[in-house]
Amino acid sequence: MIVDKHQQFIQGVTKLFEGLHFDLSTPLLGCGGCFDVIAKKRSLLMLVKIIETIDNLREDQAYELRKLSSMLGGLPLIVGRSIRSNSTIEDGVVYSRYEIPVVSLETLRNLLLHKIPPLIFAYRGGFKVKFDGDLLKEKRIGKNLSLSDLAREVGISKRAVYEYERGKINVSLETAMMIEEFLDEPLTLAINLFDEMQRIGSVTQPEKYSGAPKSDLEKDVKKHFDALGMKDQLWTKKFPFRVLAKSVDKNDELEKSITTITGITRKPIGKDFTKKILVTYNVSRIADANPLVVVGSEIDQKEFKGVPILSIDELTKLKKKKDADKK
């Protein structure tokens, strides 16, 4: 069996997680969605997009990945191989696309398997690092150097050295190497990739995003979740599951987040229907969410693999029954 380079790349990522005993969702390959796998180990939940060329990531995919991660309490990450200029992503470097960190497979492997964190950030202007400002100041003073002395030795401004010591700006890789060599001291701080992933960017829907419910069936499902108070919703564009809906149930001053992942289909037949159920089940299991599949017509089968299957009429009746029980 011939396996192409992209498949090998994907297998490399999934085998890394499996080897470290992460609970892993079945890879969602070829659907063009915002993530390919969800990996969970104890309290760590990661939503990972595996992509060959990171500049091919679309804005709508990035928005969905950030929003989905926020709703599920997970961390978004992109694992890539190259950038648009066909240059390979460097190992040990953290890139960024649409406010989501991007790393190579080897960088991820070093972090998870060998506990070796990346050190370098990639910016448009080049590679940069963050210095331990207190240590820089300590070593400079220890060598009886003024700010001006150190600046002159490495060919930068006095102001730059001052800002490095305050930790206010990052240092270009070239300058960092000169300062470390001159002071004979490693000053670069390791990057906490998990902290970078936690800094989920904006979850405001882009102006041109077109993931809203379109069919009457989808609009009825939205009305159902709205009526339940689950108004925090993500309507996906490219996934077998269609909507993620979330609410916070307040009871006795305790807040419990309720999240439902829902597949929606007009007709409960064929491979597409089965795929929606399996993906909804698989993702919900890993992400600890409630699975649901809604169909547009009556169906005798009411569940599959623990996933409730309801017609839209049954869903509506269920809401009315709950309202009646509250009275």
Q: Mean of the pLDDT values across residues 208-216? A: 87
Residue ranges in the chain assigned as alpha helix (H): 5-19, 59-72, 105-112, 133-142, 147-154, 158-166, 173-183, 193-198, 216-227, 270-287, 312-326
Is there a contact between 130 and 174 (Cβ–Cβ < 8 Å)? no
Is there a contact between 66 and 202 (Cβ–Cβ < 8 Å)? yes
What Cα–Cα distance (Å) separates residue 44 from each residue in 23, 65, 71, 112, 194?
10, 16, 14, 12, 9
What is the pLDDT, as a whole number, of residue 86? 76
Residues 262 and 71: their CA atoms lie apart, in Å, by 14
Residues 21 and 41: their CA atoms lie apart, in Å, by 7
- Amino acid present at 104: S
Q: Mean of the pLDDT values across residues 105-134? A: 96
Q: CATH fold of 128-183, please?
A: 434 Repressor (Amino-terminal Domain) (1.10.260)
Is there a contact between 188 and 129 (Cβ–Cβ < 8 Å)? yes
Strands 93-97 and 120-123: parallel
Q: Maximum CA pair distance of the chain?
A: 83
Residues 59 and 317: their CA atoms lie apart, in Å, by 38
What Cα–Cα distance (Å) separates residue 171 from each residue in 68, 174, 295?
33, 8, 56
Name the 3-class secondary structure at 248: strand
Name the 3-class secondary structure at 230: coil
What Cα–Cα distance (Å) separates residue 149 from each residue in 130, 135, 142, 164, 208?
21, 17, 13, 15, 53
What is the pLDDT, as a whole number, of residue 255? 53
What is the pLDDT, as a whole number, of residue 313? 92
Write phi, then psi, for 95 (nearest 5 degrees). -95, 180
Q: Mean of the pLDDT values across residues 142-156? A: 97
Q: What angle do CA 235, 238, 243 make, to 5 degrees?
A: 25
Domain ranges of the chain: 5-118+192-198, 128-183, 216-326
DSSP result, 46-72:
EEEEEEEEGGG--HHHHHHHHHHHHHH
- Is residue 249 over pLDDT 80? no
Same fold, 128-183 and 216-326: no
Share of the chain above pLDDT 70, in %: 94
Residues 179 and 107: their CA atoms lie apart, in Å, by 25
pLDDT in tens, 76-99: 999 999 998 779 999 999 999 999
What is the pLDDT, as a whole number, of residue 326? 64
pLDDT in tens, 12-47: 999 999 999 999 999 987 778 899 999 999 999 999
- Bridge-partner residues for 48, per DSSP? 37, 77
The listed CATH number (3.40.50.620, 3.40.5.10, 3.40.640.10, 3.40.1350.10) that belongs to domain 5-118+192-198: 3.40.1350.10
Number of C-beta neighbours around residue 97 at 10 A: 19
What is the pLDDT, as a whole number, of residue 270? 84
Q: CATH fold of 216-326, please?
A: Trna Endonuclease; Chain: A, domain 1 (3.40.1350)
Mean pLDDT (the chain) is 91
Residue 131's contacts (CB-CB under 8 Å, 6 or more residues apart) are 164, 165, 167, 170, 171, 176, 179, 187, 188, 189
- Is residue 252 over pLDDT 60? no
Radius of gyration of the chain (CA): 25
Is there a contact between 286 and 23 (Cβ–Cβ < 8 Å)? yes
Residues 98 and 94: their CA atoms lie apart, in Å, by 13
